[in-house]
Chains A and B, each alone.
Chain A
Amino acid sequence: AQSVSQHNHHVILSEAASLELGCNYSYGGTVNLFWYVQYPGQHLQLLLKYFSGDPLVKGIKGFEAEFIKSKFSFNLRKPSVQWSDTAEYFCAVPGGSYIPTFGRGTSLIVHP
């Protein structure tokens, strides 16, 4: 079954800094990849998704991610973070039967 790994568990940035969160996936045929975000006290919500086509995917709130097949990576980026981006970020793949399978997550804290 496909799986993902996230190596940055805690990231602390100042406002306006650039962000890149790593996500690596295991090979398993067709690749579908997702980033979810969980703001403090709120539900998990989808940031962006990759199914096929353009490897650079744009999501909500200025986030983007690039699928690099040769590196088995799908890193999340944002050129300039805001205090409101403080949240937990999860990379995910559809496992068997399309069951979303999540990485461990990265806790991002943005200082104003």
Chain B
Amino acid sequence: DTGVSQDPRHKITKRGQNVTFRCDPISEHNRLYWYRQTLGQGPEFLTYFQNEAQLEKSRLLSDRFSAERPKGSFSTLEIQHTEQGDSAMYLCASSLVKGGYPEAFFGQGTRLTVV
């Protein structure tokens, strides 16, 4: 158990519906990342937060995607008007940044299937 938990583990939704995923990082970690992973590919960076501030967003993060981290604790990733191409594993990771490279710890992911 890494300490990063994601909910739900699996989500099946119809095209056009909105979905929201939650990530609870390791409690003392100040940085939180979201990644997307499709079959046969490595995790692709989507966005990250340092405390409650969203500091960087990948160009993969279309306008239909929004992420929040209120109060710098848990985070949510919402996808509006889902498309079949959104089907993927969505991974969350957290790390503690305090000098030097911050090792990232990953959750087990949320597998999204859009039908």
A98 to B99: give the CA distance in the assembly, Å: 11
The smallest C-beta distance from A70 to any residue of chain B, in angstroms, reads 23
Contact at A44–B43, with CB atoms within 8 Å?
Answer: yes
Contact at A32–B45, with CB atoms within 8 Å?
Answer: no
Q: Does A100 sit within 8 A of B, measured CB to CB?
A: yes
Q: Most chain-B Cβ atoms within 10 A of its Cβ — which of A44, A45, A103?
A: A44
| Smallest CB gap from A42: residue in B | B108
Contact at B93–A105, with CB atoms within 8 Å?
Answer: no
Number of A-B contacts (CB under 8 A): 55
Contact at A98–B97, with CB atoms within 8 Å?
Answer: yes
Q: Does A9 sit within 8 A of B, measured CB to CB?
A: yes
Q: Does B104 sit within 8 A of A, measured CB to CB?
A: yes
Contact at B41–A51, with CB atoms within 8 Å?
Answer: no
| Smallest CB gap from B2: residue in A | A43
Q: Does A99 sit within 8 A of B, measured CB to CB?
A: yes
A90 to B44: give the CA distance in the assembly, Å: 12
Q: Does B42 sit within 8 A of A, measured CB to CB?
A: yes
* Contact partner, B101, options A41, A45, A51, Cβ 8 Å: A51
Q: With A95-B45, A97-B56, A99-B56 given, is the CB distance from A43 to B101 under 8 Å?
A: no
* Contact partner, A94, options B44, B93, B101, Cβ 8 Å: B101
Q: Which A residues are in CB contact (< 8 Å) with B97?
A: 98
Contact at A104–B41, with CB atoms within 8 Å?
Answer: yes
Q: Does A46 sit within 8 A of B, measured CB to CB?
A: yes
Contact at A101–B41, with CB atoms within 8 Å?
Answer: no
A46 to B40: give the CA distance in the assembly, Å: 19
Contact surface of A with B, Cβ cutoff 8 Å? 6, 9, 32, 41-46, 49, 51, 90, 92, 94-105, 107
23 example contacts (A-B, Cβ-Cβ < 8 A) are as follows A6-B42, A41-B108, A43-B4, A43-B106, A43-B109, A44-B43, A44-B93, A44-B106, A45-B106, A49-B103, A94-B101, A96-B56, A97-B48, A99-B48, A100-B45, A100-B93, A101-B45, A102-B43, A103-B42, A104-B40, A104-B42, A105-B40, A105-B42
